[in-house]
Structure 1
């Protein structure tokens, strides 16, 4: 299921306590589950993953100096009519294409029925919040599509090629924790006490080093080289880890939901990479899905990009 070129205003740019920029994938997985619930009475469909292709990214920040600051507002006014204190809210304007992995009988329907279902899903999305942002009205150059992939490999390859062209120009976010493990091993080779947090911080920045070279005449030259050789790599939140035991529904004071078990959690982090949509070998590489382990207290967003390299 492809919903192309959604323009989103004021999405949440603070993706975790330690990162900002593109919204967290937890927000898009939440959108997928909410949409599935809304469709329960209309269309027999189950979403098993979501991919996001970003076409435009405009953070609402001031550009004075090296350090950027969010553009903040004071609202609403206080009880006395005066200005309220500022609550930090990072915002970003986006243009994205959403790709849903779909399971259900609707895939066996006729082309006309699939087109009607896709239009209905896109209509629901237009009335929803996406990562806290508002979907702006506008006519996309392409209509939403619900595509049933062919079983024949050659026909399926042609379908995927056509889908990749629909997603251009744009980049999709995938998980690359293999790069984090590799950087951790590299740093441990020289500093055995290096932790994964140290490797994560090292990989999240651009590290410049001076390299001295000597020519055949004995003349030394110094050049500066950086270690950003793995593409567009970014630190991202990957979900939540439990800080305490799972509590029974309604036993925690002031919980937002009294019918769901409650647990205090903190964010967990990993490494992501922005990959050009034309580099995808199949749709599984871009889809994110959830993994929950109550016993271990781990609630994680997963992506299988590296399994198809």
Structure 2
């Protein structure tokens, strides 16, 4: 596989009415699979526009979000009333979640080599890089992002809103220095990264008390606040309630869907009725869940920690997104951009 050679950045995209229901069990932000799907769709459209770029991974930084819900202790989605049916009767209300977003998308890209032409994705080709970035921004402006519509970019003081590209330095140290400069542009904001390690740790802790705990039990336990009385402080005499597994500074941990697991074998193309695409094989799937963390970009050590990439395991029937984030990685670790992984796959599905 060709390693990434550059990054393509779309800063401060204004998305209206994106899908806030990310899975049957989660809501509040689009699934990361929506952005990997956008990556593949964008690559195909770039090929049609004669832009020789291959997209390898995507990073998401959220600067602002406004979920369309009623305010209060119990919140419900703001639903739209559909027009009446052709016979004049009231149309059924289909519950849908919508959210407005201000996000920055970061793509790791490489050049598709063309026979007989010199490479154009080089450090000194600033005009070519900006031309490709502008053309890619024009292509993206006609696409949906997580089901939402892109609004026109509004210039703002102190914000870089024009798409841009930059070539990754070959040396690891210079690449980290460049990334430290780039990540300042994504502040204030929070990047979504994967934390499969926290799910594995929660499973280990729960099995110490209850050996029959399943991975799904651990995911549900980590997805909520588990308050219990804590020991009173010396001389205080008051008993306080707190979640001992969510101490101050533990991070903004959230349950997220990360892909799909197969429920059946593959059906040949055209053999299943009412399929969306009758030219490709079809497989019934269900959502795969894990844990994620919203982290400030200035706490990311390198570009690979920001990116998500798709991973397919046909034997297991697993189609999921992997995050390059490593919480304990030092700057000298993982210099090749890879991330170690436990022998047992950490994911949960229902």
Q: TM-score, normalised by structure 2?
A: 0.84
CA distance in 1, matches of 2:59, 2:201: 25
Residue 268 of structure 1 is matched in structure 2 by 288
1:95-174 paired onto structure 2 within 5 Å: 95-104=102-111, 105-108=119-122, 110-140=125-155, 141-142=159-160, 143-174=162-193
Structure 2: which 5+ residue stretches go unaligned?
A: 1-7, 112-118, 330-350
Question: Per-residue deviation at 1:295?
Answer: 2.3
Number of residue pairs matched by the alignment: 306
Q: Given the alignment of the two structures, is residue 224 of structure 1 paired with residue 241 of structure 2, yes or no?
A: yes
Question: Per-residue deviation at 1:154?
Answer: 4.1
Q: TM-score, normalised by structure 1?
A: 0.95
- 1:290 aligned counterpart, secondary structure: strand
CA distance in 2, matches of 1:255, 1:274: 36
Structure 1: which 5+ residue stretches go unaligned?
A: none
- 1:69 aligned counterpart, secondary structure: coil
1:24-39 paired onto structure 2 within 5 Å: 24-39=31-46
- 2:272 aligned counterpart, secondary structure: coil
CA distance in 2, matches of 1:294, 1:247: 14
Higher strand share: 1
Pick from 321, 329, 343 the counterpart of residue 301 of structure 1.
Answer: 321
CA distance in 1, matches of 2:202, 2:172: 36
CA distance in 2, matches of 1:74, 1:221: 51
Assess, with a 3 A threshold, how the Cα gap between structure 1 residues 178 and 73 changes in structure 2: closer, same or farther: same
CA distance in 2, matches of 1:107, 1:122: 18
Higher helix share: 1
Assess, with a 3 A threshold, how the Cα gap between structure 1 residues 307 and 183 changes in structure 2: closer, same or farther: closer
Assess, with a 3 A threshold, how the Cα gap between structure 1 residues 214 and 234 changes in structure 2: closer, same or farther: closer
Q: Given the alignment of the two structures, is residue 85 of structure 1 paired with residue 100 of structure 2, yes or no?
A: no
